[in-house]
Amino acid sequence: MVTIKDISKRCGYSVSTVSKALNNSSEIGVEAKEIIKKIASEMGYFPNAAARLLKTNRSNNIGVLFIDEMQSGLRHEYFSAVLNSLKDEAERLGYDITFISHNIGNVPMTYYEHCKYRNCDGVIIACVDFNDPRVIELINSEIPVVTIDHIFNDSTAILSDNLKGVEDLVNHIYEFGHRKIAFIHGEDTSVTQRRLAGFYKACEKLGIIIPDYYIKKARYHDPKTSGLATRELLELKDPPTCIMYPDDFSFIGGMNEIEKHGLTVPDDISVVGYDGIYLSQVLRPRLTTFKQDTEALGKEAARNLVNAIDDKKTYVPKQVWIEGELLVGDSIKKIEF
Amino acid sequence: MVTIKDISKRCGYSVSTVSKALNNSSEIGVEAKEIIKKIASEMGYFPNAAARLLKTNRSNNIGVLFIDEMQSGLRHEYFSAVLNSLKDEAERLGYDITFISHNIGNVPMTYYEHCKYRNCDGVIIACVDFNDPRVIELINSEIPVVTIDHIFNDSTAILSDNLKGVEDLVNHIYEFGHRKIAFIHGEDTSVTQRRLAGFYKACEKLGIIIPDYYIKKARYHDPKTSGLATRELLELKDPPTCIMYPDDFSFIGGMNEIEKHGLTVPDDISVVGYDGIYLSQVLRPRLTTFKQDTEALGKEAARNLVNAIDDKKTYVPKQVWIEGELLVGDSIKKIEF
DNA sequence: TTGTATGCGTTATCAT
DNA sequence: ATGATAACGCATACAA
């Protein structure tokens, strides 16, 4: 491994001069800088992040906490899309990312300990149980934290505008003449609460009253439970004309159930999804859905965390709402009211 | 931050004694060990990976190179599933993972340089262009490397048995009476080559001859190109009775095209996918496909790499073939021959 | 403008 | 069994 010491020997300058030159310090003469840089590059020098960290207390490393209830982990297009964008932006800003877990080898550790162990400059938390004391410990620590899709006290949060998303969907459905709208929602999280709020708010504004039996609970990213909910809805004496699903993927479960009943989308029953994942746009009929801007979510998370890291003293936590976009497909039938 | 020094002050033992005690060295007395460990835990001590690395030259960090041609990155269920398993196993073995990229901040670097910068003990390479000189540089370096789904000279490779997978599928299709089997394949990679080999080998054994126009090129994970290929196949004078797709996801494109032609699966046309992702099992009719054992792929990759790291001197590179499993769905019709 | 010396937190070598 | 000391690679305060 080539170190600055090696370069120093090779070019005659002292170690510190070499260090300064490579860090573009203004103290060093232009010509010395050039020589040193040239030799460094010739020798294939590359700094050692660990050694640098030891001095600077900066790892240029961001921890990512990414655990979901369904244990689908990275196999969840919404989250992997966010992660992907997050990673790209972090790299652009000069940071690597490290997954944070609660045990490494056979040594159990808390999330916080793992972050300290790896000297993470900051952490992004997504998709975890925010009631877990270990998560709370991490959020309350001195490590800068950004949460995604969850507001935790006054830490910075990047939030997909779920309220507006559902409102837009309901309004859109309403315009197509539907009044009997059912809503299948996921587990009881803050995201779900916002979506429900958006649903009721929109309905109220439009003056339509939704009976309780049109509201069904399922799980996110789980076609099975959404399938069951769909069945219950279809078998009602007064079934809805349109069903809203927790997410695009879950709709697959509903789709199967609808077909089992000999019905077709959208002629017999209209549907909408949520997320706007790739799948929704390749299904036929194309699914009307609300596309969450995963690109922006990941990017903003990375940017805000880096801001928080850089201006640790003056940074003020904030909430960043990311708007989504209605994707109009062919899954809603225009009906006369 | 609590350091060994702090513990030393607190308990009276010297720094080196503390260090040895915490590392369970046999040199240290049982009682001293206990006291030291107790105090360390009380003070909330946690080792600093960077400092340790500087001495030991071991980062307990594995680099992961994970870039695909379609730029879908982590939004690719097959790869994200492998990655997920890889990550879990690495953590179990005491390693964190770091994504390797080719620039960090505005500093361009090669993959190799990035690995050195982060002191990765080893690297897992998946899903990249193996002709990229920067990838070759990395593989040929002194850093232990494990590749996934690609054999590179004599480095360790974890391979999904694509040859057998396609053979199994063809045999299965044959048993259902099909002789006119079309094969849509992805980009020209070693995986594709093996699949094609498996296809031809199986056909030969079964004594069926496949005309060249039944072989179509598309792209992996890309419904559009598979859709186009499907159209061409369906519009042949002598269309196939069964179409094999590059992967389950691409089949969606074929599905749409089939529907556009007013045909249904499997009554008018039989199909099979590849991968066995979640989607394939929630579609109706359920897709007959070949499930790649992503769990095992990721796990074996991590294990073999850690072996290579631990026994750097004596480790002998090897190829590990991971078997998959035929998932029988309802997408093939039994036909009389 | 350049060089010397120190220390970050840890482990390893060598004394005691 | 325990401790003093050096060293890992780097950045920086301070001296020259």
Residue of A1, A53, A256 with shortest CB distance to B50? A53
Residue A166's nearest CA partner among A254, A266, A272 is: A272
The answer to whether the Cβ–Cβ distance between B46 and A105 falls below 8 Å is no
Residues of B in contact with A109 (CB under 8 A): 46
pLDDT in tens, B241-262: 999 999 999 999 999 899 999 9
- At residue B64, does pLDDT exceed 90? yes
- The pLDDT value recorded for residue A69 is 59
What residues does CATH 3.40.50.2300 cover in chain A? 61-160+295-323, 162-292
In order of B60, B61, B159, B273, B275, the CA distances from B316 in angstroms are 21, 21, 17, 36, 30
Residues of chain A with pLDDT under 50: none
Query: Token match 């033992």: residue?
Result: B13
With beta carbons under 8 A apart, name residues in chain B contacting A50: 49-51, 53-54, 59, 119
The neighbour count for residue A262, using CB atoms within 10 Å, is 7
Q: Which nucleotides of C are covered by protein (CB under 7 A)?
A: 1-5, 7-13
Higher pLDDT, B101 or B20: B20
Q: Which of residues 257-286 of B touch A (CB under 8 A)?
A: 259, 278-279, 282-284
- Amino acid, single-letter form, for residue A239: P
Beta carbons of A332 and A288 less than 8 angstroms apart: yes
Q: How far is CA A161 from CA A31, A168, A218, in A?
A: 54, 11, 21
Q: What is the pLDDT of residue A70?
A: 58
Over chain B, what HEC string results?
CCCHHHHHHHHCCCHHHHHHHHCCCCCCCHHHHHHHHHHHHHCCCCCCHHHHHHHHCCCCEEEEEECCCCCCCCCCHHHHHHHHHHHHHHHHCCCEEEECCCEECCEECCHHHHHHHCCCCEEEEECCCCCCHHHHHHHCCCCCEEEECCCCCCCEEEEECHHHHHHHHHHHHHHCCCCCEEEEECCCCHHHHHHHHHHHHHHHHHCCCCCHHHEEECCCCCHHHHHHHHHHHHCCCCCCCEEECCCHHHHHHHHHHHHHCCCCCCCCCEEECCECCHHHHHCCCCCEEEECCHHHHHHHHHHHHHHHHHCCCCCCCCEEEECCEEECCCCCCCCCC
- Does the beta-carbon distance from B48 to A119 stay under 8 Å? yes
Q: Is B9 on the interface with A (CB under 8 A)?
A: no
Residue B71's pLDDT is: 58
The verdict on B87 touching A (C-beta cutoff 8 Å) is yes
What is the reported pTM? 0.91
Q: Which carries the bigger pLDDT value, residue B286 or residue A130?
A: B286
Chain A CB within 8 Å of residue B73 CB:
yes
* CB < 8 Å to A256, chain B: 282, 284
CATH 2.60.40.1930 fits B61-160+295-323, yes or no: no
Nearest residue in A to B83, CA atom = A74
Measuring from the CA of residue B20 to each C1' atom, give the nucleotide at the shortest distance: C11
Average pLDDT over residues B282-295: 92
Q: What is the mean pLDDT of chain A?
A: 93
Chain A residues in contact with B104 by the CB 8 A cut-off are: 60, 91, 94-96
Q: What is the pLDDT of residue A34?
A: 92
Which pLDDT score, from 0 to 100, does residue A161 have? 96
The yes-or-no verdict on residue B169 having pLDDT over 80 is yes
Q: Residue B317 has which token pair?
A: 């590179």
- For domain A162-292, give the CATH number: 3.40.50.2300
| Residues B284 and B266 sit within 8 Å (Cβ to Cβ) | no
